[in-house]
Amino acid sequence: MSAPRLIAVIGATGAQGIPVVRELVQSGSYKVRALTRDASSARFRELQSFGSVEPVIGTFASEKDLRATFRGAWGAFVNIDGFNSGEKAEMFWTIRAYELAIEEGVKFFILGNLDYVYKKSGYKPEFHAGHYDGKGRIGEWILQQNQANHGRMQAALLTTGPYMEMTISAHTPMAVTMDSGVATWRLPMQDGAIPFVALDDCGVYVKWLFEHPSRANGLDLEVGIAHITRSDLSGAFEKVTGRPARAVDVGFEEYFGKVWLQDPEHAAGYNADLSDPATMTVRENFTAFWNVWRNSGGNTGLVRRDYALLDEIHPARVRSAEEFFRHEEEKGVKAGLGTLWERVQPERIAHVLKITEDKRTGRL
């Protein structure tokens, strides 16, 4: 049996990074080296509970730390937090991560990517969401470089979207609230739909990409559960929990004023400089974000997915909001966290996003 291949991971303690590391390490085919600011944090300790995870203490905004993370690794999974850096810095450091991975001899590079929605819209300004386009631009750039790096390193994209877990977690753009005993989502999405992603499935997709390099090389694997509407969301939750739920359409004024309690005039990236003309505000960024989903209904609009391909790659993937909530119900009860209904109560609701857990946004 061959020795496990070493995978370097940037973003390992994030919402997406944790299931990716878990799937890789528990497969027995890989060990992980992860860049982290704090190897004593609860999230990094969780990573180490999966198996062989080596820490590199540092930051993605350091060439020295990136080199140390990539050195000797066969593969790399890179998902830089755009809400940490802001759109401009994320683009620069993702480019440098790709270049330094080549320098250090990495053979296969996967970028945690998002849809380049501005381009997909035909460059219409109402769809420019900085945290999406910052990744999407560089994703395209990486695939272009992949054709001209003389075979030194192969590359693929894992293009995700909003995590379905964000609908049952605290302080996200689509968090649930309790309104007189009714689980309620207030979302400015009109009759659109979101191709939500199940985080556990992300680990399976990344492992598949590493295990099938000849097919994965140059691939933009765009993933999702299904295009889920407001009624899909609330109906599935109600069916699984047996409790009342609703998903209400709201306008942007109500959304930014009363629903998502983050200062809408703050920078969308907490380390970004608001005096820099390239920095978007929360209001600007997330108005565009919701405009995207307003125009993606029925898998025929702006953001689309090839679900038949995903069925082939991951036959056991989550395929509906109801299936997702049933999995969460079972997982929560098994882990001693309570039923899904109990977990979304204000006094018990947890964080899925590292940025909100770190209390670095707005009025948290």
- Interatomic CA distance for residues 338 and 236, integer angstroms: 18
Q: Identify the DSSP state of 276.
A: S
**CATH class for the domain made up of 164-194+226-302+320-357:** alpha beta
- Which CATH architecture describes the domain 5-161+198-222? 3-Layer(aba) Sandwich (3.40)
Q: Would you tell me the crossing angle of helices 282-294 and 130-146 to the nearest 10 degrees?
A: 70
Beta strands in the chain (DSSP E): 5-10, 30-36, 53-57, 75-78, 108-113, 154-159, 177-179, 182-187, 194-195, 220-222, 227-228, 245-249
- Which one-letter amino acid corresponds to residue 155? A
**Which pLDDT score, from 0 to 100, does residue 101 have?**
98
Whole-number pLDDT of residue 355: 65
pLDDT of residue 361: 40
- Contact (Cβ atoms closer than 8 angstroms) between residue 97 and residue 11: no
**pLDDT per residue rounded down to tens, the chain (364 residues):** 578 999 999 999 999 999 999 999 999 999 999 999 999 999 999 999 999 899 999 999 999 999 999 999 999 999 999 888 889 999 999 999 999 999 999 999 999 999 999 999 999 999 999 999 999 999 999 999 999 888 899 999 999 999 999 999 999 999 999 999 999 999 999 999 999 999 999 999 999 999 999 999 999 999 999 999 999 999 999 999 999 999 999 999 999 999 998 899 999 988 888 999 989 999 999 999 999 999 999 999 999 999 999 999 999 999 999 999 999 999 999 999 999 999 999 999 998 876 666 654 443 3
Instruction: Kindly give the pairing relationship between strand 177-179 and strand 227-228.
Output: unpaired
pLDDT of residue 360: 46
pLDDT of residue 269: 84
Q: What is the model's pLDDT at position 359?
A: 54
- DSSP string covering 36-77: ES-TTSHHHHHHHTTS-EEEEES-TT-HHHHHHHHTT-SEEE
How far is the C-alpha of 81 from the C-alpha of 90, rounded, in Å?
7
pLDDT at 1: 56
Phi-psi domain of 105 (left: phi exceeds 0; alpha: psi -120 through 50; beta: other): left
The whole-number pLDDT of residue 21 equals 98
The per-residue pLDDT for 363 is 33
Element (H, E) at 211: helix 199-211
Cβ atoms < 10 Å from Cβ of 3: 7
At 179, is the secondary structure helix, strand, or coil? strand
H helix and E strand count, the chain: 16, 12
**Do 164-194+226-302+320-357 and 5-161+198-222 have the same topology in CATH?**
no
Domain ranges of the chain: 5-161+198-222, 164-194+226-302+320-357
Residue 258 CA to residue 9 CA, distance in Å, equals 37
Number of C-beta neighbours around residue 7 at 10 A: 27
